[in-house]
Amino acid sequence: MENFPIINLEKLNGTDRAATMEKINDACENWGFFELVNHGIPHEVMDTVEKLTKGHYKKCMEERFKELIAKKGLEGVEAEVTDMDWESTFFLRHLPVSNISEIPDLDGVYREVMRDFAKRLEKLAEELLDLLCENLGLPKGYLKNAFYGSKGPNFGTKVSNYPPCPKPDLIKGLRAHTDAGGIILLFQDDKVSGLQLLKGDQWIDVPPMRHSIVVNLGDQLEVITNGKYKSVMHRVIAQKDGTRMSLASFYNPGSDAVIYPAPTLVEKEAKDQNKQVYPKFVFDDYMKLYVGLKFQAKEPRFEAMKAMETDPIATA
């Protein structure tokens, strides 16, 4: 099996730039995932985020999770559980308006650290979108503008912990899905693994690496690139030992952003006799559909959006 793509962003600044850009392009076309090192976020910032996130879980969330598991009777399950995930989570919204000050139980230091971390991730996400533009032959800023809507992008972080699970063969940490949005930046535990992606018909481990940021592409980038880049099914396998930390930050289109394939990419494909296959829709409409179908294949979601696009009643 080929090696999981690991991109050293520092190499963009020297003679290896072309080779590094090609590596990013190959990862986007053939994996939908890649892992960044030397990405510009200081290691001490990441260490502080990790320490405070794990401390917050221990202090405020671990007992609640145990109570939930006991209430649902999941300790002794004998059959596969298909309607829930073995994870403890909370969500932080950064853009267009932050809700960090409203989340209960976070101490002041943790709030400030997460505000700072979010700003750094936002900057990195926008840098990555411009690298994708360069590889796609789109003008700089095209993807950021496509995501903008009237109030700017939606950007938020899902803070997750995956505690030890007695029956990892019967309960997933997180069931298989593609991400609905734009570009996702993940800071994951470097000691406890569990994240896997589907490549062809094989599940492949996303290697835990200290101080790396894992990047994956969401459904909206698949639409805008008219399928040149694809979102990929991924899941989290629960583990018997150790609690896995995961901070997934989603840089998504604004709710009222209109998403559609970039015309220049459609024109390129038209020359290859490939017709445009991806629909045009408002991101919020896609999200309303996604909520109920997250753990199913993405193709019927695209078809449903296409049907709305061509149905005069739906678009009236």
Element (H, E) at 25: helix 17-30
Q: Given a cut of 60, is residue 1 above it in pLDDT?
A: no
Q: What is the pLDDT of residues 120-170, one digit of tens each?
A: 999 999 999 999 999 999 999 999 999 999 999 999 999 999 999 999 999
CA 52/CA 245 separation, integer angstroms: 11
Determine the pLDDT at residue 316: 37
Determine the pLDDT at residue 16: 97
Mean pLDDT of 47-53: 98
Please state, rounded to an integer, the average pLDDT across all residues of the chain: 93
Q: Given a cut of 70, is residue 290 above it in pLDDT?
A: yes
Q: What is the pLDDT of residues 85-128, one digit of tens each?
A: 999 999 999 999 999 999 999 999 999 999 999 999 999 999 99
Determine the pLDDT at residue 17: 98
Q: What is the phi/psi pair of residue 103, to 5°?
A: -75, 125
CA 123/CA 279 separation, integer angstroms: 29
Which has the higher per-residue pLDDT, 287 or 76?
287
Q: Confidence class of residue 312 from pLDDT cuts 50, 70 and 90?
A: very low
Spell out a b/e string for 277-301, using b for 16 or more CB atoms within 10 Å of the CB, else e: ebbebbbebbeebbeeeebeebeeb
Q: Given a cut of 60, is residue 311 above it in pLDDT?
A: no
Nearest to 143 by CA among 231, 218, 225: 225
Determine the pLDDT at residue 272: 60
Task: Write down all domains in the chain, each with its CATH number in brackets.
Answer: 4-308 (2.60.120.330)
Q: Confidence class of residue 314 from pLDDT cuts 50, 70 and 90?
A: very low
Mean pLDDT of 29-52: 98
Task: State the first-to-last Cα distance of the chain, in angstroms, to the nearest integer.
Answer: 49
Please, how many CA atoms are within 13 Å of residue 127, restricted to the half-sphere of its CB?
16
Q: Given a cut of 70, is residue 81 above it in pLDDT?
A: yes
Determine the pLDDT at residue 269: 65
| CA 163 to chain CA centroid, nearest Å | 21
Q: Are 194 and 244 in contact (CB under 8 A)?
A: yes
Q: What is the pLDDT of residues 160-196, one digit of tens each?
A: 999 999 999 999 999 999 999 999 999 999 999 999 9
Mean pLDDT of 265-276: 69
